[in-house]
């Protein structure tokens, strides 16, 4: 299961991480987010040596969502050296996420 992250730990765990970091921005009420959650959990297990994975609830962490212009959820963003990559918006198939991960 992917660890929850809040705005208090975001800088330390995401922006200052030495590994690339995958952040799943979601909300509990979001149906597509619930569909993506098991896939993100699977990928976090498969790619645990290469990436850190976190989930960020936008309702509880509005400041983080606002900082990264999260307008639709789910949005998955890969950060490297503190810089966000292109957002992956909406429910996407596994191959789309794997293609993005392979770029890092």
Res. 37 pLDDT band, cuts 50 70 90 = very high
Residue boundaries of the structural domains of the chain: 3-102
Q: Kindly give the pairing relationship between strand 21-26 and strand 52-57.
A: parallel
The whole-angstrom separation of Cα 46 and Cα 30 is: 25
Res. 1 pLDDT band, cuts 50 70 90 = confident
Active site residues: 30, 33
Residue 74, preceding peptide bond in cis (omega within 30° of 0)? yes
Task: Summarize pLDDT for 51-71 with one digit per residue, the tens.
Answer: 999 999 999 999 999 999 999
Axis-axis angle for helices 94-102, 31-46 (nearest 10) = 50
16 C-beta neighbours (distance < 10 Å), count: 11
Whether domain 3-102 has CATH 3.10.310.10: the reply is: no
* pTM of the predicted structure, to 2 decimals: 0.94
């Amino acid at each position: 299961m992917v660890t929850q992250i809040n705005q208090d730990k975001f800088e330390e765990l995401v922006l200052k991480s030495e590994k690339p970091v995958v952040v799943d921005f979601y909300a509990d009420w979001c149906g597509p987010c619930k569909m993506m959650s098991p896939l993100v959990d699977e990928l976090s297990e498969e790619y645990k040596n290469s990436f850190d994975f976190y989930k960020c609830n936008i309702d509880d962490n509005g400041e983080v969502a606002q900082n990264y212009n999260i307008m639709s959820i789910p949005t998955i963003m890969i950060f490297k050296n503190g810089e966000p990559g292109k957002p992956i918006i909406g429910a996407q198939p596994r191959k789309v996420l794997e293609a993005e991960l392979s770029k890092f």
